[in-house]
Amino acid sequence: MTQRLYYTDSYLDTFRARVEELSADGVRVYLDRTAFYPTSGGQPFDTGTLGGAAVVAVVDEGERVAHVLAEPAAALAPGAEVEGRIDRGRRFDHMQQHTGQHLLSALLQERWGWATTSVHFGPETNTLDLAVESISPEQVAEVERQANEVVYENRPLAVTFEDAAEADGLRKASERTGTLRIVTIEGVDRSACGGTHVRATGEIGVILLRRTERVRKTVRLEFVCGGRAVRRARADFEALSRIAGPLSTSLDDAPAVVAAQTEQLREAASIRKRMREELAGAQARALADAAAPDGAGVRWIVERRPAWDADELRALAHAVSTLPKAVLVAAVEAPPTVMLAASADSGVDAGVALKPALVAAGGRGGGSPRVAQGSVPVAAALDAVLAALLPR
C-alpha cells in the first residue's frame, strides 16, 4: 500500500521514499510513500522527477500508486531510497482550479439551486455541467461576482478525516463507507474529496467564468482560476487590441463599431446579391434570345469556360430556369464542373438528366428538376458529359 502524502499536505513538493517494485520494462515505479497525485476525481496527475528521472504520468491502482517514467533509470532499483520532486507550478495550478470548482459548485447549488452533475479539468480550461436548462449572461456575471467575493474574503480551508456514517453537512452525499477525507471551505462548502487544495480561498486567485453551452438538458459552464484567469484575460485583451487597432477605436467602443460594420457588410452583401441576380437575369435573356429554338421550341444555351465564379454561375442557372422553354448547359474546366438548368416547360428534368451523364464519365452530382450540378475527375471528361446532355 502506498502512503499518500498529498492527503495531509498539498504543498509538499519534495519528499524521500523507498522503491518497492519496478515493472519489467523499468518505467513503472512503485514507492512506499508518495507526494505525487495520480489522476483521480477529474484532477490531472502531477509530473516531476524521481531520482532525477522524469515522471510523465501517475496512475491510481487502488492500493498502490504507479509512477510512470519517460525512460528507465538505473538509480530506481527495488530497495533504493530516492528523492521525489513535484512540478510545483503544475500542482499549484491544479490546486487553484480544483478549489475554485468546489467554491463554484457550492455557490451555484446554495444560492442558485443549480447542482453540479459533472466536472472536467482540462489543460487550458475547466467546465461544470449544471442541472439547469439555461443561464443568461447576466446570471453568469453575477455568479462570477459572488464567487470572487468569497475569494476576497480569504476564507480558510480545512482537511479532516471523518467516519462516513457520522459526516454530515456534505454538499453531495458520499456512497463510500469507512473514513472520508473531507475538504471544508469555511461557511461555504463541505465535500468528500481526495484532491489537492489551497489553504484559503484567496489563493484561488481570480475566478473567470467564460462561455456557456447547452448540453442536452444541462448547461456547461467554462471557467478558469488564478494564473490561468490572468493569462486568459491578457490573451483576451490582446485579441481585442488587435481588433480595435485597425478600426481606430478604443477597446470599449470596438464591439459597437464591429457590430455596425457587420451590419453594413450584411447590407452590402444583400445589395450585391440582388445586383448579381438582376445581371444574371439580363444575361439569361440575352443568351436565350441568341439561341435558336429546336423543333420543340426549346432554346438550348451552351456555355463552356476555363473558369467561372460559382455564385455567378448559380445565379445564371436559376435565371435560365425561370425563362420560358430554356435549357442551360454550362461547363467549367477548372475545377471540372457541369451545371444544367431547365425551365419547367422545357421537358427536361435537370437532376434526372445530369446524374447518369456524370456517372458515365466517372463523375458525380445531381440536383432538382430545375437546377443540377456535378463534377468529373478531369476536364477532358466534360466533352462526354456535354454530348450526353445536348439534343442530337
Q: Which domains are seen in the chain, by residue range?
A: 3-86 (2.40.30.130), 92-245 (3.30.980.10), 282-389 (3.10.310.40)
pLDDT tens sequence across 86-137: 999 999 999 999 999 999 999 999 999 999 999 999 999 999 999 999 999 9
Residue 225: closest CA among 156, 124, 129: 124
Instruction: Report whether pLDDT(378) > 80.
Output: yes
Instruction: Report whether pLDDT(50) > 80.
Output: yes
Q: How much is the pLDDT for 243? A: 86
Cell of 128: 461544470
Instruction: Report whether pLDDT(188) > 90.
Output: yes
Global pTM reads: 0.75
pLDDT band at 174; cut points 50, 70, 90: confident
For residues 99 and 310, the model is more confident at 99
Cell of 45: 496527475
Q: How much is the pLDDT for 258? A: 86
Q: How much is the pLDDT for 234? A: 94
* Separation between Cα atoms, residue 68 and residue 55, nearest integer Å: 6
pLDDT band at 12; cut points 50, 70, 90: very high
% of the chain beyond a pLDDT of 70: 100
Instruction: Report whether pLDDT(392) > 80.
Output: no
pLDDT tens sequence across 17-46: 999 999 999 999 999 999 999 998 889 999
pLDDT tens sequence across 139-151: 999 999 999 999 9
Residue 242, CB-side half-sphere exposure with 13 Å CA sphere: 5
* Separation between Cα atoms, residue 386 and residue 382, nearest integer Å: 6
* Separation between Cα atoms, residue 181 and residue 172, nearest integer Å: 13
Weakest-pLDDT range from 80-84, 128-132, 187-191, 257-261: 257-261
Q: Are 254 and 247 in contact (CB under 8 A)?
A: yes
Give me the mean pLDDT over the 325-348 stretch: 94
Instruction: Report whether pLDDT(175) > 90.
Output: no
Q: How much is the pLDDT for 125? A: 96
Cell of 49: 522527477
DSSP labels, 166-178 = T--S-SS-----S
